[in-house]
Every structure is written in structure tokens, then in C-alpha cells.
Amino acid sequence: MNKALRNPLIYIVFVLPAFILFLAFFIYPIFTAFDNSFTSWNGISKDVKYIGLDNYVTAINDDAFWKAVKNNVYFILFSCLIQVPIIVIFSLLIANVKRLKGLYKTAVFAPSIMSTAVIGILWGFIYNPDFGLMNEILGLVGVEPIYWLSDRKWAMIAILITNGWQWTGFYIVMVLAAILSIPKELDEAAAMDGATGVQRATKITLPLIMPIISVVIMLSIAGAMKAADIILVMTKGGPAGSTDVMATYMIRYAITSFKHGFGNSIAVLIFLFTIIVTVLYQVLIARRNERIEY
């Protein structure tokens, strides 16, 4: 048996099924998407016409596409600048509570296991201009009713808040696991040396969990670039396209209009933009935080 396991052919045979599935469902679709993006294919016809870079030129010259890209950027900025600090603060707070830690963990994690459709309906009620919780609370301090999902000024913010609410708990649990894995001695030693709670959090815990925060940011960026479901459920990209992101732009302007060639070019652009942003993040920021030595 040992001899058999030393034969590379055996390994190839066992790897082959998974490799074929990987090729069929991951690599092949990526290549076909690239290929189709240079065509005017309607998704049905056998007669596929190559049109060079026309689809990319159409997208790049379309203001609506850049509006959608801008909304993706808002998603990224909201995730990195608002959501991540909240995740870190809540993780530190939950890590240091003495009682009911399990309850807090479960409570913050719950939204991430709910389906986006349910969350969309739930927050639809919260944002309702007539009886929604949001306007009720704001009304207490004299704020006029806000048309959260109907007003282009507020619709994107409303979606970002909802999306943040859905995923914050998931990342909190990840960060919490990292905090709880830090050897207690480090914290205790700092405390004995007279470090305050804030000092221990910022000078000891935070630097030690930077790798996991880096992963959280990476996942947030990737999630922000492919966001679509929460928008479709809450505003369908409206009002008047003001909450369209690249993925919903692709559905609105390509897939529903039988323009699969154009749709594939948008998919390729999403893929390329995501790679560029994540590589930039890796090269410029994340690499510095990779190694931790206790």
C-alpha cells in the first residue's frame, strides 16, 4: 500500500475528479465569460458574432456604468471605514464581558444566517416612511420623515446600513476568535505593569489581531464588489438607477435585454476590478500585517 501511495499516478487518479469539476465549474466559465465578452451574443443564438472591444467601449462610455462603479466604491469605503472599526470595537467589548458572552455572540451572529430576502423585507418595514422604526426614532428628536428607499439621497445609505447590519456579526465572530486565541499572559502582564484597558486594547490586542482584520477587510472588499442581492431585494437598483452597482447594472442593461455578450463584458470588468483592488490592498497594506510573533 505504501508503495502504491508513492506512485504519482495514484494521486493523479484521485485528484482527477475534483480537478475536472474545478475546470468545468470554475476555470471553463471564466474563459467562456472572457470569450463571450467580445461578442454580441444574445444568449440563445448559435450564430455568435465577434465585435472586438465594442462591449467594453459601450460600458466605459456609459455614465450609468460609472455611477454603478461609484456605488461599489461606496460599498468598499463603508465596509472599511465604518464597518471594520465597529467590528473591532464590538469584538473587544464582547471579548471582555464577564457574563452572557455566548448570548452576545449569538445575537450579533444571527443576522448573517438570515436570508437576504428576509432581511430586505425586515428593513423595508424599518425604513417605511409611514410607520417605520427609523423614522419613529428620528421623529422623537424632531426629524421630518425620510423617504429612505424612495429618495435617491438616502437610498444608497439605507442599503449600506442594512448590508452592514447583515454582515457585521459574522466578522465580529471571526475577530472575536482571534482575540480569544491571544495568550492571556500577555494581557495580564500588561495589566500588572499598569496598562489601562484602552492601552491594552490598542497596544496589545489590536496589533495581534491585525492579520484577521486584514482578512476581514479583504472579504469585505470582495463582498462589496459582487454585491447584488441586497440591492435587488431592497430597491431593484432604483430609484432611477441611483443604487445600481456593477452586478445590478449587468442585470438591468444586459441580461434582461438578451445582451449576454455585453453582460459577460460587465462580469469580466467586475472580475478584473476585484482582482486589482484586492491585489493593491495585499501589496500596499496587508503584507505588512502578515507575521505575528508573540
Would you count residue 118 as binding another protein (CB under 8 A)? no
| Residues in the chain, overall count | 294
Would you count residue 38 as binding another protein (CB under 8 A)? no
Would you count residue 10 as binding another protein (CB under 8 A)? yes
User: Cα–Cα distance between 214 and 91 in angstroms, integer?
Assistant: 15
Would you count residue 48 as binding another protein (CB under 8 A)? no
Would you count residue 253 as binding another protein (CB under 8 A)? yes
Would you count residue 274 as binding another protein (CB under 8 A)? no
Distances (CA, A) of 44 to 36, 48, 73, 258: 12, 9, 33, 8
Number of residues engaging another protein in binding (CB under 8 A): 38
Contact 94, 104 (CB under 8 A): yes
User: Cα–Cα distance between 181 and 188 in angstroms, integer?
Assistant: 14
Nearer to another protein, 2 or 198 (CB): 2
Question: Which of 17, 52, 142, 194 is close enough to bind another protein by CB under 8 A?
Answer: 17
Question: Which of 23, 53, 103, 240 is close enough to bind another protein by CB under 8 A?
Answer: 240
100: left (phi over 0), alpha (psi -120 to 50) or beta: left
Taking the mean position of all CA atoms in its chain, how far away is CA 33?
Answer: 22
Would you count residue 191 as binding another protein (CB under 8 A)? no
Nearer to another protein, 153 or 287 (CB): 153
Question: Which of 33, 34, 35, 43 is close enough to bind another protein by CB under 8 A?
Answer: 43
47: left (phi over 0), alpha (psi -120 to 50) or beta: beta
DSSP annotation of 267 reads H
Question: Which of 67, 101, 226, 236 is close enough to bind another protein by CB under 8 A?
Answer: 236
- Binding to another protein in span 69-108, by CB under 8 A: none
Of 44-52, 176-184, 200-208, 277-285: span binding another protein (CB under 8 A): 44-52
Contact 205, 187 (CB under 8 A): yes
Contact 74, 157 (CB under 8 A): no
SS3 62: coil
Contact 282, 211 (CB under 8 A): no
Would you count residue 150 as binding another protein (CB under 8 A)? yes
Question: Which of 34, 42, 82, 191 is close enough to bind another protein by CB under 8 A?
Answer: 42
Give the nearest distance from C-beta 271 to another protein in angstroms. Answer: 21
Distances (CA, A) of 285 to 213, 278, 290: 11, 10, 10
Contact positions toward another protein, by CB under 8 A? Answer: 3-4, 7, 9-10, 13-14, 16-17, 20, 42-46, 64, 127, 129, 147-152, 155, 235-236, 238-241, 252-253, 255-259
